[in-house]
Amino acid sequence: MVTSPFAAHHADLAGLAAESRRRALAPRAGLDFASNDYLGLAASYLLSEALTEGLRRGIPAGSGGSRLLRGNHAEHEALEAHAARHYGSDAALFFPTGFAANAALFATLPQRGDLVVHDELIHASAHDGMKLGRADRAAAAHNDPQSFADAIAAWRARGGTGTPWIAVESLYSMDGDRAPLADLAAVADRHDAVLVVDEAHATGVYGPAGQGLAHDIAGRDNLVTLHTCGKALGCEGALLCGPQIVRDFIVNRGRPFIFSTAPSPLMAWLVRQALEIVANEPERPARLHELVRHAETRLGTLGVPASGSQVIPVVIGDNARTMRIAGALQYAGFDVRGIRPPTVPHGTARLRVAITLNVDERNIDVLADTLAGAMAAA
């Protein structure tokens, strides 16, 4: 009998299925309580009009090559200049996805002999970037500035002489809580460290003109921020913002950037228009915050703690029960997804309820009632 070359893969998937952790792609259906389209821009008339205008201007859909070959388009440069002004940094660099930007950042900027201290709940893309990089790395307790300081001090005591890098998200994608950025910036200053803030779930939603939660510490020479364009901005891509040396070094040494086809110039144009829309329509995030407060009140009657943001986790614990409840909500017409390990820690499987401008108060009320019934039945 010939053994399948994929026997190990089949066994791995079977193991995931036994733990109610096997994933599968599913089409979108039902009211949107799952997406990161927080400001309802992805399918908006405004972005459709901007796309039409970009096509009318003859902006190409494809770049035709990497940025260092013929792929560098005027629209890439225009977006990066606009983003640097908008986010208060010296320079910006556009990537096709947030994952690509995080991977390039952590694979390229921290050098051999440096230390990356990351929040224990940081994005998977940061972990993958660190694995490609040459620096040592250490996990710090979630949202605990002293834990970051202690990790750096312990590394120095062992003889570490390089640069420490502090890596956090400003708003965590599965818990919805915020990082203590001012305290972390103070730790970075005391230890001559660079603070890296992933603003993926805060961009467009918080700060003046949607600048994010790090806007109060913008412009520092030891700050790098990452702004995802595929969430509240309703587009695709990511903008890495920081000192000019960050842009220059990645352009010269960042293999994920150097050897990748450049993002679509048309998308660069569209992101620039999205930044303008968010800056000129403060009523969008204001309306979102109203919906968040309403959702916290309604879900609070079920014992769901308020996260203080548009990401509201309903922690169930058991994988199978989580998926049964998610299935019941989906059957009732609500797109709510179950999140299981390893995306979240073991024993904390949850429903990730995302509040967006694609729903209203009535939708939230019916969701809460349906959730109560589903939790009782499961």
- Assign 175 to helix, strand or coil: coil
User: Which of 89, 147, 170, 173 is labelled catalytic?
Assistant: 173
Nearest to 46 by CA among 225, 197, 272: 272
CA distances from 190 to 146, 164, 185, 194, 243 (A): 12, 11, 9, 11, 19
Exactly one of 76, 86, 123, 227 is catalytic; name it. 123
Residues in the chain: 378
Token readout for 367 is 């969701």
Which residues fall within 8 angstroms of residue 148, CB to CB, at 6 or more apart?
Answer: 117, 140, 166, 184, 187
Q: Indicate if 173 belongs to the active site.
A: yes
When computed from its CA atoms, the radius of gyration of the chain, rounded to whole angstroms, is: 21
- Active-site residue among 80, 169, 175, 296? 169
End-to-end CA distance of the chain: 43
Q: Catalytic residue at 131?
A: no
Question: Which among 32, 36, 102, 125 is annotated as catalytic?
Answer: 36
How far apart are alpha carbons 303 and 376 in whole angstroms? 13
Taking Cα atoms as reference points, which of 208, 242, 200 lies closest to residue 225?
Answer: 242
Q: What is the rounded distance in angstroms from the CA atom of residue 221 to the CA atom of residue 334? A: 45
Yes or no: say if 42 and 356 are a contact pair by the CB < 8 Å rule: no
Find out whether 329 and 364 touch, Cβ atoms under 8 Å.
no
Look up 63 and say whether it is catalytic: no
Nearest partner of 173 among 377, 353, 366, judged by Cα: 353
Taking the C-alpha atoms of residue 222 and residue 274, their distance in angstroms, rounded to an integer, is: 28
37, 119, 136, 198: the active-site residue: 198
To which residue do tokens 């193991």 refer?
A: 15
Instruction: Pick the catalytic residue from 76, 86, 191, 201.
Output: 201
Q: Is 169 a catalytic residue?
A: yes
Q: Do 217 and 227 touch, CB atoms closer than 8 A?
A: no
User: Is 123 a catalytic site residue?
Assistant: yes
The rounded distance, in Å, linking the Cα atoms of 358 and 78 is 30
| HSE (side-chain half, CA atoms, 13 Å) at 136 | 16
Instruction: Answer yes or no: 147 catalytic.
Output: no
Task: Judge whether 231 counts as a catalytic residue.
Answer: yes
| Identified catalytic residue from 73, 76, 215, 231 | 231
> Which residues have a catalytic role annotated?
36, 123, 169, 173, 198, 201, 231
